[in-house]
Structure 1
Amino acid sequence: MTTTQKRLPGRRAAVATLAMLAVATLGSAPPFAAADSPDTVALDWHEHAVAAFANAQAAPVAGAQMAPYVQGVHLAMVQGAVYDAVNSIVGGYQPYLQGLPPAPAGASESAAVATAARDTMRGILDQAVASGALAATVRDAIVQRLQTLHDATLASADDGDVSQGVAVGQAAAAAMLAERAGDGRYGAFRFTCGDDPGQWRPVGQTVCTTPPTGPIDGSAWVAKVTPFVVDSNDQFLSKAPPALNTGRYAKEYDEVRTLGALGSVLTTEQAALASFYVANPVDMMGRSLRAHATEEGLDVAEQARFLAKVALTNGDTFITCWESKAEWSNWRPQTAIRLGDEDGNPRTVGDPGWTSRVPTPPYPEVASGYNCAVSSQMNAAELYFGSDRTDFTVMHPDGRTRDYDHFRDVVKDTVDARIYQGLHFRSADVDGATIGRDVARWVHEHALQPVG
């Protein structure tokens, strides 16, 4: 990292305590928390954004209950706007969006962060309601909570002119919402299945019922969303899956058939990985990276830039990942193993009753969405902080933790975990990790660069 850091008091213990109290379901996040102080406002509003998008709609503190890949796209919008708001005040880096009006030097960064985040989320939630993906009553509850949090942030802001900061945040949010209007979110695209060996079928089916619609469509429209930084949806498209008649396919098939079946025996470490890396990767990595940013002492401008780098990378990686799923539309292990005697490979043994340890999601195999998510965030973090040895802790919502010496080491574990869960062949996991790495490098080199 090239910026000068302002050291802030560590609060890893406090964040770890919060993690222990949070719900551990996929797609969930901790309840909203009041803003801590102007020193951590960008971290706090990232947490509020994750909760607003990820919390269950019926939770005591309601959220939109978006799938992780939908959360990732929308967080890129929020964090891009927050970054532009802060950067327009402090300067030093290229804006994400050009053309924002210059901000007064004395504007409150806290007010700018809170307003940019609140207004961008409000626009995103309005679109979700208009598209039929969210009930207006849920939207209203979330917006009311965001307003309460916004009021609290402004009341505690002591870092400049609040009214000027609000105006800066409003401008950044309006620019982001205008930029992303008509970008393909909630579009009509659906994955296509087929009846030939190797072709994807919806969960639990061995015949094609195209097009899958409604809650089982896996938000296929993510594949066709306009990217944030990369040049196109297919710039970093994954490689084709291994041909069914190859030894590589047979080897990967046997690995997941043996290790990933419901009820199959795993070692203690394998079982630990399989149960740990099931939590929402946007929430889990987000909380872990916020804790690390606190440990590193990032000031508000650095928090905003770091979180924007991660979010823009994650958003574009999800888009690329879903485009890869649309391009290859190949079957997942559960379908493949149930139809293993029909794939033309004499080295694969079919099992009509085979079921994955973790329920198989409703979209094609290549590339692994979970590894796209984790790899993008870990590689973005490593590019920001540097590749030297670091103490990094992944914090599960239920309070469990796993410690690593390098950000990239997390990806090795998530590749294996998705095999132990029976959700992917190894090549799909590796391809997802590769997409995340390549997109992270591109975003690092092409977005939010120093000026002068």
Structure 2
Amino acid sequence: MKTGRLGLAAVVALIALVLPTVAQANEVTKWNDIAASTVLAQPPIASSAPSAGVFIAMVQGAVYGAVNAVDRHGKPYLVNRSFPKASLDAAVATAAFRVIDGTFSAQHATLLAAYNSSLAGIPDGSSKDQGIAVGTMASDAMLAQGHWSPVPMTCDFGSGPGVFQVLQGQACDPTQWVAHAAPFLVQSADQFRTAGPYPLSSPDYAADVNEVEAIGSNNSTTRTPEQTHIAAYWQTNPAAGYNALGRRFVAEQSLSTRDSALMFAMIDLTAADAIINTWNDKYYWKFWRPMSAIRNADTDGNPDTVKDAGWTPMFDGLLHPEFGAGPNLITPPYPDQASGNTAYTSATMHAFQSFFGTNDMTFYLTSSRFPGDLHYFDHFSGPISQVIEARIWAGIHFRKADVDAANLGRAVEGYIHENQFDFVR
């Protein structure tokens, strides 16, 4: 870690969060919160985790591009010129407002009021004017890149053993468009293609099937109550949870506007490119989920799997009070390989680790299903390990889909760190 960036290396390992704190806003966290709140209020085609991740990355990318043009500390992004006399706060507010407003114009009145409030706190003059101009440049450049194209797509996957099928009564995946979204900092949506699922006839595939069949069943005798709780806990929107964590870090560690913008750019641009590559991977492999695999095991050609036509995952679509608040949990309407939540978590946690320069950090995560139930971790690697298991316990993923997704997220983060944020050491 370069001391000129944060100067936190000596203290970061000593931080222990005993009680939740309320994040005090700077302009970066204020507009990050507005961005998250705005997108999460939209229909599923925009608010589901993959779509929300892309949108928040657009906002935070524009904010970082503007801040980096004012306080140059890394490779130019979106804005090549430097504006050292421009107001950082005006640049941040303008960049964020224009991306959010340009994407969700129906919220214009509310967004404009928040923007005017931000500008009202900045003294009039050339610095403010330059900040507005820089924010405009960054937002215009971001919107011109065409990352946001949420249109419904068909869900005709073919048929046969191993081929994903939308379950009866389910609608098509509203976020399928993310598989073809323009990436931010990686070269393409398929740059990090996984090796794919195990061959159906292989012993490894049989081991994965038998594992999830036993522990991921709705009436499993091997899954513990704690594992059931953790599986349900992780069925929450990572775009919301990880940005909320970022806002807490800003407050708890008194990050500057520059470092706040850098941190959010690192986690959100990385997560978005990871989820774009993951969604592309899903629709490349089109691999079936455990419920279809187990119910049709007589078609897979594997002597070590056994058909159970009545097998149902923990996420069985029924009301279970122990699953917390929110809609009944079901097998998601998109393919297994690779796991979206795991890729998102891996990319984000590795980006946090790169920003802070250490894996050692005590922090908590929240879940929309269990308000007030805080899960504490001592390392950024902790959530990655836990979400891998949680998706198997829920009966919705094979282990390979989760392990491959964790590796994909790490690879995307490594590429982006080396090619855009290499000054952060």
User: TM-score with structure 2 length normalisation?
Assistant: 0.86
Shift of 1:412: 0.3
Shift of 1:420: 1.0
Which is further off, 63-72 or 45-54?
A: 63-72
How high is the sequence identity, in percent, across the aligned residues? Answer: 34
Aligned match for 1:244, one of 196, 200, 203:
200
Which is further off, 293-302 or 418-427?
A: 293-302
The amino acid across from 1:47 in the alignment is D
Shift of 1:159: 11
- SS of the residue corresponding to residue 201 of structure 1 reads coil
Aligned match for 1:280, one of 215, 237, 240:
237
Q: Residues of 1 paired with 2:123 and 2:45: CA distance? A: 32
Q: Residues of 1 paired with 2:45 and 2:297: CA distance? A: 39
| Aligned equivalent of 2:78 | 97
Q: Residues of 2 paired with 1:373 and 1:388: CA distance? A: 17
Shift of 1:416: 0.4
| Aligned equivalent of 2:326 | none
Superimposed CA distance per residue, residues 349-383 of structure 1 (whole angstroms, 9 cap, x where no aligned partner): 22222222220111111000110111110011111
Q: Residues of 1 paired with 2:422 and 2:21: CA distance? A: 32
- SS of the residue corresponding to residue 234 of structure 1 reads coil
Alignment of 1:117-128 (within 5 A): 117-125=96-104
Task: Answer yes or no: is 1:81 the counterpart of 2:69.
Answer: no
Which is further off, 336-345 or 276-285?
A: 336-345
Task: Answer yes or no: is 1:303 the counterpart of 2:260.
Answer: yes
Q: Is the CA contact (8 Å cut-off) linking 2:263 and 2:355 kept in structure 1?
A: yes
Task: Answer yes or no: is 1:385 the counterpart of 2:343.
Answer: no
The amino acid across from 1:198 in the alignment is G
Q: Residues of 2 paired with 1:344 and 1:184: CA distance? A: 42
Q: Residues of 1 paired with 2:117 and 2:45: CA distance? A: 22
Q: Residues of 2 paired with 1:342 and 1:289: CA distance? A: 46
Q: Is the CA contact (8 Å cut-off) linking 2:298 and 2:307 kept in structure 1?
A: yes
| Aligned equivalent of 1:29 | none
Q: Residues of 2 paired with 1:156 and 1:268: CA distance? A: 51
The amino acid across from 1:267 in the alignment is T
Q: Residues of 2 paired with 1:122 and 1:172: CA distance? A: 14
Q: Is the CA contact (8 Å cut-off) linking 1:256 and 1:422 kept in structure 2?
A: yes
Q: Is the CA contact (8 Å cut-off) linking 2:228 and 2:394 kept in structure 1?
A: no
Shift of 1:299: 0.5
The amino acid across from 1:387 in the alignment is T
| Aligned equivalent of 2:53 | 72
Task: Answer yes or no: is 1:410 the counterpart of 2:383.
Answer: yes
Q: Is the CA contact (8 Å cut-off) linking 1:110 and 1:159 kept in structure 2?
A: no
Task: Answer yes or no: is 1:47 the counterpart of 2:11.
Answer: no
**Residue ranges of structure 2 left out of the alignment (5+ in a row):** 9-14, 316-329
| Aligned equivalent of 2:129 | 163
Q: Is the CA contact (8 Å cut-off) linking 1:85 and 1:112 kept in structure 2?
A: yes
Q: Is the CA contact (8 Å cut-off) linking 1:54 and 1:71 kept in structure 2?
A: yes
| Aligned equivalent of 2:189 | 233
| Aligned equivalent of 2:209 | 253
| Aligned equivalent of 2:341 | 370
Q: Residues of 2 paired with 1:449 and 1:437: CA distance? A: 15
The amino acid across from 1:344 in the alignment is G
| Aligned equivalent of 1:199 | 163
- SS of the residue corresponding to residue 331 of structure 2 reads coil
Shift of 1:315: 1.0
Q: Residues of 1 paired with 2:413 and 2:135: CA distance? A: 26
The amino acid across from 2:116 in the alignment is D
Shift of 1:15: 6.2
The amino acid across from 2:247 in the alignment is R
Q: Residues of 1 paired with 2:82 and 2:149: CA distance? A: 30
Aligned match for 2:113, one of 142, 148, 153:
148
Alignment of 1:23-62 (within 5 A): 37=25, 40-55=26-41
Shift of 1:269: 2.6
Shift of 1:387: 2.7
Q: Is the CA contact (8 Å cut-off) linking 2:294 and 2:308 kept in structure 1?
A: yes
The amino acid across from 2:290 in the alignment is P
The amino acid across from 1:194 in the alignment is G
Pair 439,5 (structure 1): closer, same or farther in 2 beyond 3 Å: same
Q: CA RMSD in A?
A: 2.7
Shift of 1:17: 6.2
Q: Residues of 1 paired with 2:388 and 2:261: CA distance? A: 29
Shift of 1:401: 1.4
Shift of 1:388: 4.2
The amino acid across from 2:164 in the alignment is W
Q: Residues of 2 paired with 1:388 and 1:219: CA distance? A: 32
- SS of the residue corresponding to residue 147 of structure 1 reads helix
Q: Residues of 2 paired with 1:65 and 1:320: CA distance? A: 18
Q: Residues of 2 paired with 1:17 and 1:357: CA distance? A: 34
Q: Residues of 2 paired with 1:241 and 1:192: CA distance? A: 20
Shift of 1:114: 1.2
Q: Is the CA contact (8 Å cut-off) linking 2:194 and 2:281 kept in structure 1?
A: yes
Shift of 1:342: 2.0
Q: Residues of 2 paired with 1:420 and 1:306: CA distance? A: 32
Shift of 1:192: 4.3
Q: Residues of 2 paired with 1:14 and 1:176: CA distance? A: 38
Matched positions, count: 399
Q: Is the CA contact (8 Å cut-off) linking 2:238 and 2:341 kept in structure 1?
A: yes
Aligned match for 2:90, one of 111, 128, 142:
111
**Residue ranges of structure 1 left out of the alignment (5+ in a row):** 19-35, 58-62, 126-138, 206-211
The amino acid across from 2:162 in the alignment is G
Shift of 1:13: 8.7
Pair 226,431 (structure 1): closer, same or farther in 2 beyond 3 Å: same
Aligned match for 1:428, one of 383, 386, 401:
401
Shift of 1:102: 3.5
